[in-house]
Structure formats: C-alpha cells, structure tokens
Structure 1
Amino acid sequence: MIDTTVDVINKLGLHARASGKLIEVTTKFKSKIQIGKGEKLVDAKNILSLLMLGAGKGTTLRLVIDGPDEEKALSEVLALFAAKFYEAD
C-alpha cells in the first residue's frame, strides 16, 4: 500500500475537466485508488466524489493506492498532477 501526498498546482484546481482526466488515468488500474484531505478519502475513480473535494490550487491531497499495479498507478497520477492536467496556464 502506498500512502503519500500530491499538491494541486494547476490554476483551476481539481475542476470538472481535470477530474475527468484523473478518472481516465485511475480507471486503467486494478488497484484501489483513494484521494482526499486528511482522513476524508474518496474513490479516485468516481467523478462526483472528486468534484465534492473542492480541491483548489494549492491544496495538498492525500493519495492512497493499494493493489497489484499500485506503483504504476502512483507514477501516472503524479505525472498528471505535475503536468497540471495538460491545461494551458
């Protein structure tokens, strides 16, 4: 199990389009992927749950991944956040 944090650095935060891109990544993996603030974690494969987080720019989110492909899932999720969800600044 991997338990780490990731910072939201894109200008608009985890809004609908960014959440959709995150769903595209997370649903490729068998691992259980959860994201949230502190102890309040939600399913990172559910767009409504992601939108309810209200994670704006500068938010630090906790990322918990557990399963057979957790390392690959972590790598792709972190890359997506680092690339600012491929949005223009």
Structure 2
Amino acid sequence: MIRMNLEVVVSGGLHARPASVLVNLLNQYSSSVKMIYNDKQANGKSILSVMALGVKTGDEIMFEVEGADEQEVAASIEALFERNFAI
C-alpha cells in the first residue's frame, strides 16, 4: 500500500471537472484508491464519492493506493496534481 498526502491547488477545489479528470484517470488502473479528507473516506473511482468530500483549494487529501499497479497509479496521481489537473 502507498500512502501520500497532496494539496489541492486547482481553482475551486475538486468540483465536477477536476473530480471527473481524477476519476477517469484512476479507472484506467486495477488498484483501489481511497481518498481521506476531514475524517471522511471516498472511493477514488467514484465521481459522487469524490465530490461528496467537499475538497476546496488549499486542502490536503490523503490517498491510499493498493494493488498490482499501485506504483504507477501513485505516480499518475502526483503528475495530475503537479500539472494542476490539465489533461
């Protein structure tokens, strides 16, 4: 299992568009991804679950990635955050 904390820098937080970009990315992999924010947990592969977290710009999210391709998934998540959710 890989755990990492990332700060959301995208304007407006994880609203519909960036949440959709994240979920679409994660659904390309077999590993499970759990997102933890303010004692709430979300399935990173579910758009409704991700949006229900209510993550805003400047907030920090913990990701827990587990599975056969967890290294690749973690690297992809970090890259997405680094490029500010640009596709």
TM range (shorter): over 0.9
Secondary structure in structure 2 of the residue aligned to 1:11: coil
Displacement of 1:39 after TM fit? 4.1
- So what's the TM-score if we normalise by structure 2? 0.93
Structure 2 unaligned residues grouped into runs of 5+: none
Counterpart residue number, 2:46:
46
Counterpart residue number, 2:23:
23
Displacement of 1:81 after TM fit? 1.2
- So what's the TM-score if we normalise by structure 1? 0.91
The CA distance in 2 between the partners of 1:38 and 1:71, in whole Å, is 25
Does the 8 A contact of 2:14 with 2:54 survive in 1? yes
- Per-residue CA distance 1:48-69 (angstroms, 9 max, x = gap): 0111111010000000000000
Counterpart residue number, 2:9:
9
Give the percent of matched residue pairs that are identical in Structure 1 and Structure 2. Answer: 29
| Equivalences for residues 9-88 of structure 1 within 5 A | 9-37=9-37, 39-86=39-86
Structure 1 unaligned residues grouped into runs of 5+: none
| Aligned-CA RMSD value | 1.3
Secondary structure in structure 1 of the residue aligned to 2:85: helix
Does the 8 A contact of 1:38 with 1:62 survive in 2? no
Aligned positions, number: 87
Question: What is the one-letter code of the residue matched to 1:17?
Answer: R
